[in-house]
Amino acid sequence: MNRFLNKLRSNLSSNSPDLGLAAQDSLLPAAMQEWGPLNLTLDGIVLLDEKRNVVDANARALEFLRSTLSAVAGYDFWDVVAQEIAEEHEEATELGLGSSPSHAFIVHQSFENSWVEYTFRRYPGGYVVNLREAGPAEKFQRLLEDSKRYNQLIFEANPNAMWVFDVTSLRIFAVNQAAVRFYGIARKMFMTLGMEALFPEGEGAELLRSLRLVKEGKELQSEMMLCKQKKMDGKEVLVELAWSQVKWEGRAAVLVSLADVSNRHLADTSLKRANAQLQEALLVQQEELKNARHDLLTFTQAVSTDLQDSLHVAHGFAARLAEKYSLALDEHGRHYVRRIQASISQIARLVDDLRTLAQLPLRSGVPEMVDLAPICLSLIADFRRRDPEREVAIEMAGSLLLQGNKGLLTTAMASLLDNAWKFSSKKPEAWIKIGLLPGKAQGEVVVLVADNGAGFDPVYGGNLFTAFQRLHSSGDFPGNGLGLAIIKRVAQLHGGTVWAESADQAGASFFMSLPQAPATGS
């Protein structure tokens, strides 16, 4: 035991010449602290073993720790001090003692409203901790040193590669571990390099131009650029490099930080290449679509023109036959002539509807305010002239204003009203309702056309707006199955949609939604 104490005194005398005799003796175990003068020192002294466990402490140290020796002996020092002190300083102290024989920090103890300096020193058997009240000058000096130390820790622990070089000599004098790993250059070798060594030829020109401004007395602005860096093995990598002027250990310096963006750049390049290929393919597809549409329109116009001419001739001969030779024909012959005339009329209507459906996109234009009421009245008047014997009640407001293409809307309303007129033809008291409803989306208007006609089975409602799809036989209700397809196309050209509802095949309601442009203030 005496040999241990003598060795401790010897180590303290050689390692800490600034400690007085009383301070040195106050480090002795509790059994030796019967000497009164040892507890008169203003410094608190705590003896720790290699595991940072408390071995002994003098009375002053116990006052700082607000505890008794029996309560702290054998416990880890960081479990003895206040939790906030341990959380803030334990890691930094361990790092500091890993590279230096001593480490110190100052903390504010709010309970006593005082500043206390903790100084750790190594000795062969463990550690000595001095605790003493810090004066104002010491406090601010220590806070400054702590700030520098924390900055160094942040610099060293930063995941981005960072290095610092002198503005005048361009010599690198600080580098963090991330940079050592990134470049594959040992720290000692790093300190022998100039900043140009890390840049492939011509890559560091922008940074060097900025440094010339510093030498002319101007302040270097923080900047960022995309450039290449050269590793130890000669490999060049693309990085995002940022730099800013700093004061480092009293020297005018530049702090450089970089992030490897090679993979991101490769991904961006691949994405740009893929986008370019898609764009090229899209242009090809658009050109092919344009040509296909042109061919379709040309074909439709040619076929419809030729068919109409042929149908016109056939209809004329059939009419001439019925008019001039009806007496020469028996009843079967006259029936055949009527069937020929009906078939010719049906084909002519089909050709007209096909041409209308194909040419709808060419008729779209700038939307305008349209009143559907007079359009519907004109169409219904035509139906009445066609079927003068029918009595159909029409329910419609005096004005139905909305925005849209007038030509397309006229075509759609003709198909909707023709559909309602046809399927209500077997009702003795038929009615048709026309109106506008608010849509689900803001600014949307829905056109409604309802009737009390034959309706349809809702199970098959999904086929209603498909071309050539019919839910009733042509014998009961003639038609070619294109009317509702035309309505759907008109709605799509306006950015809207269509749907229909029917209850137990008792009447049907057709809806066409039409988005409306917001009203502009005058």
Q: pLDDT for 23-52, tens place per residue?
A: 444 444 444 344 344 466 678 999 999 999
Chain-centroid distance, C-alpha 218 = 40
| Residue 521 within a domain | no
Mean pLDDT of 262-284: 75
Instruction: Specify whether 372 is located in the same domain as 411.
Output: yes
Instruction: Specify whether 113 is located in the same domain as 46.
Output: yes
| Residue 369 within a domain | yes
| Residue 522 within a domain | no
| Residue 375 within a domain | yes
| Residue 37 within a domain | yes
Least confident of 264-268, 404-408, 506-510: 264-268
In this predicted structure, the answer to whether residue 14 has a pLDDT above a threshold of 50 is: no
> What is the per-residue pLDDT for 22?
41
Instruction: Specify whether 16 is located in the same domain as 116.
Output: yes
Chain-centroid distance, C-alpha 456 = 46
Mean pLDDT of 400-412: 88
Instruction: Specify whether 398 is located in the same domain as 510.
Output: yes
Give the rounded percent of residues in the chain with a pLDDT score beyond 90: 21
Instruction: Specify whether 300 is located in the same domain as 290.
Output: yes
In this predicted structure, the answer to whether residue 98 has a pLDDT above a threshold of 70 is: yes
> What is the per-residue pLDDT for 364?
65
| Residue 520 within a domain | no
In this predicted structure, the answer to whether residue 266 has a pLDDT above a threshold of 70 is: no
Domain that holds residue 93: 2-155
Name the maximum alpha-carbon separation found in the chain: 153
Mean pLDDT of 274-297: 77
Mean pLDDT of 407-429: 87
Query: The domain that contains 252 carries what CATH number?
Result: 3.30.450.20
* pLDDT grade for 246, boundaries at 50, 70 and 90: confident
Instruction: Specify whether 84 is located in the same domain as 42.
Output: yes
DSSP labels, 32-85: GTT-GGGGG-SSEEEEEETTSBEEEE-HHHHHHHTS-HHHHTTSBHHHHS-HHH
CA distance 366 to 375: 19
Least confident of 153-157, 252-256, 390-394, 461-465: 461-465
CA distance 122 to 102: 6
Report angle CA 354, 356, 362 to the nearest 5 degrees.
Answer: 125
